Amino acid sequence: MNKSERNNLIKGLLFISPWIIGFVTFVLYPFLSSIYYSFCHFNVFEPPQWIGFANYINLFKDKVFWISLYNTFFYVIIFIPLSFIVSMTLALLLNTKVKGLSFYRIIFYIPTLVPMVALSILWLWMFNGEYGILNHFLIKMGVPKPPNWLADPRYAKPAIIIMGLWTLGQAIIIYLAGLQDVPRSLLESADIDGAKWYHKIFHIIMPLISPVIFFNILMSVIISFQLFAQPFIMTGGGPGRSTTFYLLYLYQKAFEDFRMGYASSMAWILFIIILVLTLFSIKISKKKVYYGG
């Protein structure tokens, strides 16, 4: 390397040094240190003490850990199919030539712009058992005794799922972009052949936008496993641990009990779960997802 190339390298490194410093400080160091802390007893106030696999062994003996894992999988298994059905249906409707279509598209996207804290407080009042607007409408519809949503273990998780369906604007926009790339000639040919609307959806539209579907579902799975703000603000994990989701329990162990080593081991188990599900999804997508050309 001559002097000119060396000077160019130094200048390039100086230009990207803010990013390098930020990456090392806020990504690489926490990533590596969490691996080490997961094998230690660490409460922040004292130096970490190496205890080997004790955190992981205790974790699998922890009853609340299994409850949080169950709650999280329950949310993912119910929410992902519902979110796909709702967002895809709305995207198909928004893809039609309806008067005021731009207005409807904006209306469905606006909830995604609201901060999650404000949205959680809003839904906290909507789910209020005595004064909530949701129960008010249920009473008007003839339901004699509507549920006390967030105070009843049977309805607390469904309430969180219903709230999640309110913020599907981003998925709707992505589906809508995919639908607009479907060749009109194929749909017109299907009309000439007498195909019904459901034939066109399942045999033409869905296969052609399968990469978009795969992307949205995969991102939804990853985001769903990191559910935190809604249960933290609305229920605090109750009632009866019915909304103690995985990330909320991790937070409680780390910042309420100050068991940072224990929380680090939880974080790595979550990382492994998401990694396995992602790799499994990618493997399945090779046979199910159609990429044009």
Q: Is residue 15 part of a domain?
A: no
132-171: per-residue pLDDT in tens?
899 999 998 988 889 999 999 999 999 999 999 998 999 9
- Rounded to the nearest integer, the mean pLDDT of the chain is 92
CB 127 within 8 A of CB 159: yes
Predicted local distance difference test score (pLDDT) of residue 293: 55
Q: Is residue 181 part of a domain?
A: yes
Q: Is residue 81 part of a domain?
A: yes
Residue 262: closest CA among 29, 75, 106, 62: 62
Neighbours of 6 (CB within 10 A): 10
CB 235 within 8 A of CB 152: no
Q: Distance (Å, rounded) from C-alpha 42 to C-alpha 24?
A: 22
Domain CATH number, residue 284: 1.10.3720.10
Predicted local distance difference test score (pLDDT) of residue 266: 97
Predicted local distance difference test score (pLDDT) of residue 86: 95
Neighbours of 31 (CB within 10 A): 10
Q: Is residue 3 part of a domain?
A: no
DSSP structure class, residue 96: S
225 lies in which domain range? 55-117+153-288
Predicted local distance difference test score (pLDDT) of residue 21: 95
Into how many domains does the chain fold? 1
CB 218 within 8 A of CB 281: yes
Q: Is residue 20 part of a domain?
A: no
Q: Distance (Å, rounded) from C-alpha 29 to C-alpha 219?
A: 25
CA–CA–CA angle 267, 269, 274 (5° rounding): 95
Predicted local distance difference test score (pLDDT) of residue 29: 94
Q: Is residue 240 part of a domain?
A: yes
Q: Is residue 267 part of a domain?
A: yes
Predicted local distance difference test score (pLDDT) of residue 265: 96
Q: What are the average pLDDT values for consecutive 10-residue runs of the chain, which has 293 residues?
A: 84 92 94 95 92 95 96 96 94 84 86 91 91 90 89 94 92 91 88 89 91 94 94 93 96 95 96 95 86 68
Q: Is residue 19 part of a domain?
A: no
CB 175 within 8 A of CB 209: yes
Predicted local distance difference test score (pLDDT) of residue 100: 80
Token look-up 């790799």 returns 279
Q: DSSP per residue over 55-86, as a string? A: HHHHHHH-HHHHHHHHHHHHHHHHHHHHHHHH
Neighbours of 89 (CB within 10 A): 13
CA distances from 20 to 13, 14, 31 (A): 9, 10, 15
Q: Distance (Å, rounded) from C-alpha 14 to C-alpha 25?
A: 17
Predicted local distance difference test score (pLDDT) of residue 236: 93
Contacts (Cβ under 8 Å, ≥6 apart) of 109: 169, 170, 172, 173
Q: Distance (Å, rounded) from C-alpha 104 to C-alpha 51?
A: 57
* Tokens representing residue 69 in the block: 């894992």
Extract the runs of DSSP E, i.e. beta strands, from the chain.
Answer: 40-41, 49-50
Predicted local distance difference test score (pLDDT) of residue 95: 87
Predicted local distance difference test score (pLDDT) of residue 158: 95
